[in-house]
Structures are given as C-alpha cells and as structure tokens.
Structure 1
C-alpha cells in the first residue's frame, strides 16, 4: 500500500499528510478482499480514510457508523448534488469515466436536496406504494416459478445465475410497464453499470433508449404501472426527470434486491437451523433479511456526498467540494457500535444498508416482498434443497460499490 500515490488534497493534520500511501478502492485486491481493505484502512486512519477511485480520483471513505450517520443525516453539510464536486468541476473526471454513471448529476431525486428532492421523491414513493400493493407478490411468484421451471427437472442449479441474478429485474419490468423479454438484457446492463465496466456508458445508453420508448408508449397508452403513475403524478415530471427516475428504480431496485436475495439464500443454505425454521414457519424471513443487511449489505459502498464547506469529520479536515463515499458495510461492522459481530442483531433495524436520512431507500417494502416471496416459492418447489459444495468454497467478487456472490450451487430432488 505504501507505494501508492499520496492523496493530492491531503490537509495538514490528517493522518494521510504524514507520508502514507493511498489505497485504491478498485483493482485486484479490492475485488477479492474488500472487508480486509476496510479494516486495514480503519486501523491506519480511523473512522475516515483517504482513498482513490477509478482513474485515481481522490475521495474520502467513511468507515465509522456514527460518521456515516452524520453525513447521511446532514444534507446541508454533505450534499448529493455532484455539481459541486471539485474534481469534476476542474476537469479531472471525464464525462466518459465509469464514475459518472454512479456519481454524475442527473435530474432525479437522488441527485438533489431540499425542495427539488422532496418534489421528485414524492412522485417515486407515491407510485412505489401503489405498485407494491397491486399484486406484487403474485408477479414475484409467477416469475419465480418460471425461473425454477427451467431447472427443476435437473436436480442441480446455481441459485445466483439461474435465479437471483435475473428475478428482481423480471419483476421490475412488469412493475414499470416493460415487456418481460427486456428483463435479462436490462439485468446485465444494470450489472455492468454497477461494476463500473469500460462499456458502462454504452449500457446506460441502451437502458435510456428502452425507457424512452416505454415513456412514449405509456403517454399514448396509459396503464396501471409505475411509468404511467409517474407521468400522471401531480409533481409534473418533465421527460428527463421521468426517464431518470425509471432508470433509478430499475438499476437500484434490481441491484439491491438481487444481491440481497443471493445473500439471504446463502445464509439459509449454510445454516440448516435457519432453513428448517423457515420451512416450519418458526422463523420469519424478515429476520434473515435483517441479518444479511447487517453483515453483507447489498451496497457495500454508497455513492456519494460532496462537502458544501470546509469542515472536520473523523479527525480529518474535509475541503469544500471533496467527494465522500459511504462505507455501509464498514459502518455496520464498526467495533465502536458492534464490538462483537457474532452477537445476534435480531430486531435491530439500525443498520446502514438502506442508507439513512432524507435519501433513505424508498423501495424497502418492494424489495422485501420480492425476497420473501421468492424464497418461499423456492423452498416449496425444490424438495431436499441443499448446498452442493462446502460453504467455505463459496466466493464473492467486489467492485467499488458492491460485493456479489459468484455462485450458489445447489442440489435437490428433481
């Protein structure tokens, strides 16, 4: 780590100013052991650490639970509006950078604060509430059964690639008003954007093209779906706002739910007591989800916040326009608030997995409905379901923002 470049904005008084190297939060090491990197940074710097993102763009990674909450709860100090991001304003971040797909300003509720944020978020939450109560579990059961039909006779499957990777997007295509045939392609494009791949810009263009066609169709032929609800909402979204909120729901909703579903299945299949408890009805699926939210949140690092003035956080002087990224996984494991990660977190919903503050995830109920229904269908459709490899052979691959389970091979009675 010491042969890496120094943070160009390291102020006097912060630990990084004393000649330490700066860790890149991308590359081979971060792909295989992100939690090891978080702990190494915590030992070296404390609750806030200097890092480099793709293109060696400087940022601060917030590792402490309390520091994460301070940033998330205070939009006046830590804005989501990336137009104040100094490195972007001064031309060090190209518009073609994969970081733009995650951090760049868009006309959506995530990119804004105050009254503009409230107006746009209301349109999203009102319509999510409407579609969540409109037969969502029936849609999940339909697509879950259809996915299972493809492998039920084989007696073997990979519950990541054959199930969790695509199911949430299939459900979301139905929710927003898209054709089922779009689901798998959109899931792959969403994954490439989150991964920060070299062709993430092309995948984003593809998604926006599909959504542009959807918006035109729904204006001409309204229906009972999320897209029509946004078009008709009293917040009066313009075309760019409409398309970007459809994008937001598809990409964020799919990524969060896909990762969470895979991790929940991993926990169930590596702990026979949990699996038997679910089948017998003695254990509620929400308790499984809660545990996953604490230990392996679907977004390990949340992008991002931008300092609106010079201030101090975790002992580091932060400069106006600095980028901060929120270490949700690191914050959940902060020894200051969770000295023993082996202690049960049952009934404790104060994890950071859904973010917090004004920008807290508005689709929690939708994700919960997808996961609970999908797991229920899976357990009842596949008798004798069991892990096909030793638990220690399961691996994950991380990007800057997420850590995805690579595979979950299972066996069952055909």
Structure 2
C-alpha cells in the first residue's frame, strides 16, 4: 500500500492534512482480528466504530451479500419495493417496541437523526403549529451532519467551532446519577424546568438512551429516561430515542430503552444494523406520528435518499438480525460485562485514571488529561490491539464474539499502556 500517497491525499476522519496521524494498513480481517500489511494481527476493541458485533468475514453475512449481489445490488426505492427491504422492515417492527410501526430506511446514523428531526418538524407543521426547537441534554452526540450537530452538545463536543452557524436548540443538564447508583429526583429538575418553560416551541426531545456515546461515554440511571418519557407525555412532546450506538444488544438489552421500560415516538438505529458490513440506518415512528406527518400540506414525508432501502445492505442486515434472533448475543454480552467488571477496577487504581465504568459490551476508562493520540495508538498496536481513544476517554466496544482471553488482552493492553 502506498502510505505516502495516503498521507498526502487521503483525508481521514478527525485528522489534520497539515500533520496527519499515522495510519495502519489493514490487509484483511477475520473474527475479532485485523491483519495488518506487515503480518501482525491485532484484536479490534472498537468493532469498527461499534458496528461489527458478529466479527469480521462472517460466513452467513458473506453469503447473504453474495446471494443478493447475483440478483441486484441496488434499485431506487421510489415507486419500487423488494423482498430484502420488506423482510428487514418486518423484522425491525417485530423486534422494536410495539408502538413503532413505520420504518423509514436511510443511509447512515447521521441521516437517520436528520430524518427523525424532520419528522418531528413536519408533524407539528401538519398540526398547524410552528415548533422550531429541540430539547436535549448536554454531553450528547447525534452525528456529524448539520441538523444532527445542532442537537449535539455545542460546548463539550467536536462541533463547538460551528457554534453560531447552527440552529440553537435547548440543552438541559445531563444526568448525573450513575446507572447502578441511587436515583435522585433532583437529577431531572433542570430538564423538567426547561421543558416547562419552552414546551410550546419544542418539536421533540432527542436523547441517547442510557449511554451517551461520543459526547462523553456517560452511563446514566434508567429512571432519568423514565422521567423524560413521563414529562414528554405530560406536555405532549415527541420523544426521539437515538439508539444508533446502543441498539442491537450493546448495553445488555436489545435496545437501551428497555432498561427504563419505555417506548419512544421515534427511534433511530444504525451502526450494528448490518453487522458492520455496509452503511444502512432506519428511523422508526409510531402510526400516530407517521399518519400525522402525512396528513399535512405535503401529503407525504419530504425525504428520499438515493440509496434508501439498498437491497444489498438490506439483505446483509436481514442476515445480521437473524444471527441476533438466535439469542447467543445475550450471553455473550453478559459474559463481556462480567469480565469488564472484574478487570476495569484494577485500571481504575492508576493515578492518571479519573473513573472507570461499564455496561454490557461497553468499557470506559476516563483519564484526567487528554491522550496523545499518535503515541497511544502506536502503543496499543505494539501491544497487539486496536483501541482508538478520544480526548480523555479510552474505551472498548468489542465484537460480541470476543473470547475471554482476547478481551483480557484488550484490558491488559490498556493497563500496560496507561502504566
């Protein structure tokens, strides 16, 4: 591979063209391993940004892609339908909370969020109201496209430099009560006050259920989410659950909303939907929301991505969901969580570590100071693992199929590197 060309011309995510971070050339991948060009094999602790839950080069997912490729890789979804999309939507309706009955397929997680926000705005437009604001909580992250950025924390995120260009929404204090801690009703007071004061101009609340992802990897008490649902019901506000990072078993429940036993009005899913094979997302809505949106002036929902319902991606997603439906993920994630509970507290004793936390197949080590990305990345690769921290957070979200000894290598690499 021509790494010099890569460094000079290929613009990688969150990387400077003036001083690009080193990139490690991957030749192939199998199970939980990435094989580098130089022959080294490293354990992927990131599931390729949280998506490759079944591991790489999975025979059933491979076969689903090959079978579909022989039929058609893509066809427009406007005025045309096809079996992979119909089957996928049936599976999603069956596995998500019962009120969610309509599925809008899209390209990526960020687009699913854009779709959810547009749905909420068009919902109120159809009801004859103009509600331009969204309420969310600080330390949230919902994607890199413009509307998704606007509901991502503008001060504590990678999007702070766009402040002033984006629509300004309402941000309540993020929950402080930890997942397994004691619930304090004061935790929801700021959210409650902001909803009370602004409810007549709020189209929807958007929130990451239970786990805030790239905005801080914070894991909060289920009662907070329960109170959010109650307050949305009280004021007649739509609730959007961004399950892109948490959906499909990552937190120990199929969807994180299940921890609080609530159902949103709109749900965004992505990342693990195709088992990390292809880009695909979906936004699900209740019948009430969908029918109200379509009862307005436009007579339909005004959105339609070119690759909406891509047959190849839908076919792989169906195979991925069939693997989940076999149920092995539940024990796999429980085993990962148990092992993280045993190993992370030891890392938490290090002087430079501020906090350690875990839930399901998520393990987080929060440091007092931000990492030097180039240095820590090299140290991890030299230790035979792929872990990509950001800021003060060193975290792992391994594939569900990871073996105990492989997970031990991930946590040991974190311990050694931070020592």
Alignment TM-score, normalising by the size of structure 1: 0.26
Structure richer in helix, relative to its length: 1
Bigger RCO (CA 8 Å, 6+ sep): 1
TM superposition score normalised by structure 2: 0.25
